[in-house]
Amino acid sequence: MIANPQNINKSNLFERLGLPASGKEDGKEVSPEKVKEAFEINRTHWKVREKKVRKNKEKQKVCENSIKKLEQTYELLKTKEGIHYQIKTIEAQDTEEHTPDTSQQEQPKQEYIPKIQVSTSKIDFGKVNLKQSKTKEVIIKNAGSGELIWEISKHPKWLLCKKQGDKLIITFTSESENSFDDDIVIESNGGYARIAVTASAVSSPVLKLSQTTVNFGKFDIPNSKKTEINVTNTGTGKLEWKISNSPEWLKVKKVSDKIIIEFEPKKENNFNGNIEISSNGGNTKIPVNAQVNDPEKPVLQVNN
């Protein structure tokens, strides 16, 4: 029985062999010779891979199913007349001519054909600070029928990829500044999937202070207080920073990689304020407080 060729998705068949879905190259129909060449290349790839993964039953099953699917695809595309599809039925054990008993005849088994589908075919990690990690995930779906078996067959060394259920977990990290661009390839018994990945590793300083608050506590005039805060860079690249604002009652200055804070109060009061630091590694505020007493200030006494 020959099925109507219009009921078959021809583009999917060409794609299985890595040919253009349109079935055309440079405006011309793909020749039977080109179809055969693509089939041989793909089958050889899977045959070689099948030998390498003999100890892994799951991977070997992927190879076997992929080879079978390639052979079926080639049968559908190899004739010059176009696509044809032969529905195979089980031959009767009795080879003598007879009228088949359709009530006892075994019906053709339904063929389950999985088809891989990914939630995205492009991932851009954007700019990532050196030595820091960023993770994204891709959902792997079966757009066909039957069981989809898949594995990661290729990924660049600068990515960490792992299979987690129906998800592909992708992590990017780098210790050197660079731009990255490559593909992840997933093989399955339902075809190939290719995911383009881009990322940029950049130097990024991170401002860190040895202390984030200053509390001078209680003290009397004419005493003064002084403290130092160390400024360090826990990121990468050159850290540039400055004191952008501070209370009028404080003397604050930058000396090398230190913030020098001096307090010489002239009057009794409760002092509260913020020192503001701006940098290319982040901005921050340092709260400062003190309680100052004037011991020479007269104290009103009430006699009973």
pLDDT digits 0-9 by tens, 181-203: 999 999 988 888 999 999 999 98
Q: 276: closest CA among 201, 212, 189, 203?
A: 212
202, 220, 253 - which closes a domain:
202
Q: Are 130 and 175 within 8 A, CB to CB?
A: yes
103 is a domain residue = no
d(CA 220, CA 297): 11
* Per-residue DSSP letter, 107: P
Residue 107 forms part of a structural domain: no
**Would 92 be classed as within a structural domain?**
no
Say if strands 207-209 and 191-202 run parallel, antiparallel, or are unpaired. unpaired
Please report which confidence band the pLDDT of residue 235 belongs to, taking 50, 70 and 90 as the band edges.
Answer: confident
| Rounded Cα distance, 24 and 5, in Å | 18
Say if residue 198 is in the same domain as residue 211: no
State the distance between the two ends of the chain, measured CA to CA, in whole angstroms: 122
Domain harbouring 224, CATH code: 2.60.40.10
The answer to whether position 31 is within a domain reads yes
- Pairing of β 28-29 and β 134-142: unpaired
Contact 85, 8 (CB under 8 A): yes
The verdict on 191 and 218 lying in the same domain is no
How do residues 27-85 score in pLDDT, each as one tens digit?
778 777 777 877 787 777 777 777 777 778 877 788 888 888 888 877 777 654 444 33
Our count of domains for the chain comes to 3
User: Within its chain, how far is the Cα of 216 from the centroid?
Assistant: 48
- Backbone torsions φ then ψ of 74, nearest 5 degrees: -65, -40
Query: Cα–Cα distance between 200 and 198 in angstroms, integer?
Result: 7
Q: Do both 235 and 170 map to the same domain?
A: no
Contact 132, 173 (CB under 8 A): yes
pLDDT score for 195: 95
Domain that holds residue 11: 5-77
Listed range (106-110, 139-143, 177-181, 187-191) with the worst mean pLDDT: 106-110
| pLDDT surpassing 50 at residue 89 | no
Across all residues in the chain, what is the average pLDDT? 82
pTM over 0.75: no
The pairing of beta strand 284-293 with beta strand 214-220: parallel
The two three-digit tokens of residue 81, written as one number:
């007349």
pLDDT tens digits along 245-286: 999 999 999 999 999 999 999 899 999 999 999 999 899 999
